[in-house]
């Protein structure tokens, strides 16, 4: 009888210890994804920007260095037809996709995909509008070349700084909300540890 009781007493702490280890592993797994993936800080042109003419390149800036593993930028027109598919160059956190052909007038959708520094692929989309076609712009500017400096002095992306700031603020808020979960998870882990220790002490006193 005493042998049976001693076996039960030894099995219970072992089971509780295994349960504690599983809970701790679950807490660590929940806390890790909140800080893992990199995020897009800004794009040039910015999302929703309206440009007088087509940009020469699409630049994406991320929160950390992205990996040079199959990066992709695909551009489609308003009808969903593909205009360009580009492999951007990677320089630390910056991916640059140089356009071989100018974007036509209208709204174009830019789809991007890169691999973040933690090895996970991330992707997203944004829209850019071009007011004037490249061919029409050349025809319009040809008779009045002397007035072109005044036209070029006007900024093409007046709305870009505000939109970039809003995008950066939103993504910074997401990072802060993810990182704020970590202290809560730590506190929860400490409470679980305390509960397990209390149960073990009570069981030992009963034995």
Q: What is the pLDDT of residues 10-63, one digit of tens each?
A: 556 665 656 655 665 555 555 544 456 899 999 999 999 999 999 999 999 999
Whole-model pTM?
0.52
**In the predicted structure, residue 88 carries a pLDDT above the cut 50:** yes
Overall CATH class of domain 37-158: mainly beta
B/e letters for 175-202, b = 16+ CB within 10 Å, e = fewer, are eeebeeeeeebeeebeebeeebeeeeee
Q: Which residues pair with 57 in a beta bridge?
A: 98
* Distances from the Cα of 167 to the Cα of 93, 116, 140, 155, 172, angstroms: 17, 19, 35, 20, 8
- What pLDDT score was predicted for residue 179? 52
Rounded to the nearest integer, the mean pLDDT of the chain is 76
139-159 confidence digits (pLDDT tens):
555 555 555 555 555 454 554
SS (H, E, C) the chain: CHHHHHHHHHHHHHHHHHHHHHHHHHHHHHHCHHHHCCCEEEEECCCCEEECCCCCEEEEEECCCCEEEEEEEEEECCCCCEEEEECCEEECCEEEEECCCCCCCEEEEEEEEEECCCCCEEEEEEEEEECCCHHHHHHHHCCCHHHHHHHHHCCCCCCHHHHHHHHHHHHHHHHHHHHHHHHHHHHHHHHHHHHHHHHHHHHHHHC
23-38 confidence digits (pLDDT tens):
655 555 555 444 568 9
Radius of gyration in angstroms for the set of CA atoms belonging to the chain, rounded to a whole number: 28
Q: Which residue has the tokens 């910015």?
A: 46
């Amino acid at each position: 009888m005493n042998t049976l009781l001693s076996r039960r007493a030894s099995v219970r702490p072992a089971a509780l210890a295994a349960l504690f280890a599983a809970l701790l592993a679950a807490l660590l797994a929940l806390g890790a994804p909140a800080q893992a993936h990199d995020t897009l800080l800004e794009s040039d042109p910015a999302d929703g920007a309206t440009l007088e003419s087509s940009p020469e390149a699409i630049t994406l800036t991320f929160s950390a260095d992205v990996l040079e593993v199959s990066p992709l930028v695909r551009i489609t027109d308003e009808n969903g037809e593909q205009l360009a598919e580009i492999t951007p160059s990677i320089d630390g956190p910056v991916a640059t996709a140089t356009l071989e052909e100018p974007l036509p007038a209208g709204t174009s959708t830019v789809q991007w995909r890169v691999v973040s520094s933690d090895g996970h692929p991330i992707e997203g989309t944004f829209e850019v509008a071009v007011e004037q076609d490249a061919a029409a712009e050349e025809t319009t500017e040809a008779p009045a070349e002397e007035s072109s400096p005044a036209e070029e002095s006007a900024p093409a992306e007046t709305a870009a700084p505000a939109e970039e700031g809003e995008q950066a603020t939103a993504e910074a808020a997401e990072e802060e909300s993810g990182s704020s979960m970590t202290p809560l998870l730590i506190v929860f882990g400490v409470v679980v540890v305390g509960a397990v220790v209390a149960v073990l002490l009570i069981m030992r006193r009963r034995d």
